[in-house]
Amino acid sequence: MKTPTQTNAIDFDTAKLQRLGFGQPFPPPRRPTTVAQLRQQLGLQLQTSLEPERILSVFFREIQRLVPLDALHYRHDAADLRLEFGQRGHHSVSYSLSHEGEHLGELIFRRNQRLSEEELGQLESLLATLLYPMRNALLYRAATRNALRDPLTQTGNRIAMDQTLQREIDMARRHLNPLSLLMLDIDHFKHINDTYGHAAGDNVLREVAAVIKAQLRNVDMVFRFGGEEFLVLLSNTSREAAAVVGERLRKATLAQDYWADGKRIELTVSLGCSTLLAAESAESLLRRADNALYVAKREGRNRLAMAG
C-alpha cells in the first residue's frame, strides 16, 4: 500500500517511456479494454493542441475511464503555469516530469481513496502520452511569451498591448464591467541616463517595472508603452478604484531605493488615468490617459491626474 503522499521523479529516457498518468473527478460512462487502447487514443487526442490547459483537461477527462481521480494539479514555475482540475482529495501521488534533462513540470493526482499498486502502474504508463504534447506546448508558450514581452522589463510590449486592449474593451462591454487605464511615466528619466549612464537607466526601468507588478492583482496587466512609460490595464476597475491603485503605484515607486555608482537616485513618477466610456474606442481611451499624464507633468510631476 502506498502512503497518502508519494513523490516520484521520472526521466523518460531512463524509464524507457513506459510509465506515467492522469484523471478527472467522476468516472465517464465507458471504459477501454486495456491501458494500451487508452494510450493509443490519448496519443492522437493530445497532439491536437498547443495549449497546456487544453492538453491537461483532455488528459484528465480521458484517464477517468481507467483510474477514477478527484483532482489533477500541474505546476511549472519557469513557465508561470499553475493549473487545477477537479476537487481536492485526501490522498495524493506526485510526479516530476523531465526529458533529456528538461524539466516539464510537476503533476499531482488526488482522490479520497488510496491508489492501488495496479492503478499507480496504469497512471505511470499513461503519463508517457503527455511527454511530447506538453513539451511542444511549453516551447510554443515560451516562444509566444517572448514575442509579446519586452526583454528589458519583462512586461508586455506594444504588440501585446494592442492585442490585449481591444479584447479587454470588448469583454468589459459584454459583461458590463468597468475598465481603466493608468499611464505611468518616470519623471526626468533623461537626466538619470545623462548623469549615471544608460546601464543605470536600464536598471531603473527594471526596478520600476518590478515595483509596479508587485502592487497589482494577477488579473491586471502591465506593458512597456514607450522608453520610460508603462501602461497598466485594470480590468473590472472603476474610476475611483483606479485612482486608489494609481496612488499606490506612485507611493511604492517613490519609496523604492534606486542606486547607481553607490549613490541613491531620487525618482518620482507621474500618472494619468482614464476609464472606458460608452462606445469609446481603444485609441480614445489611450489618448485620454495620455492627456491626463500630460496634465500631471504640467502641474509639477510626482502626481496622478484623472481624465475628464
Burial 164-185 (b: 16+ CB within 10 A, else e): bbeebbeebeeeeebbbbbbbb
For residue 228, indicate whether it is catalytic: yes
Pick the catalytic residue from 119, 168, 207, 228: 228
**Torsion sign across C-alpha atoms 129, 131, 135, 138:** positive
- Strand partners for 182: 232, 273
Left, alpha or beta for 129 (phi > 0: left; psi -120 to 50: alpha)?
alpha
- Other beta carbons within 10 angstroms of residue 224's beta carbon come to 23
Left, alpha or beta for 154 (phi > 0: left; psi -120 to 50: alpha)?
left
Q: Are 67 and 31 in contact (CB under 8 A)?
A: no
Cα-based distances in Å from 294 to 178, 183, 239, 305, 306 = 23, 10, 18, 9, 11
Give the cell for residue 274: 482614464
Residues labelled as active-site residues: 228
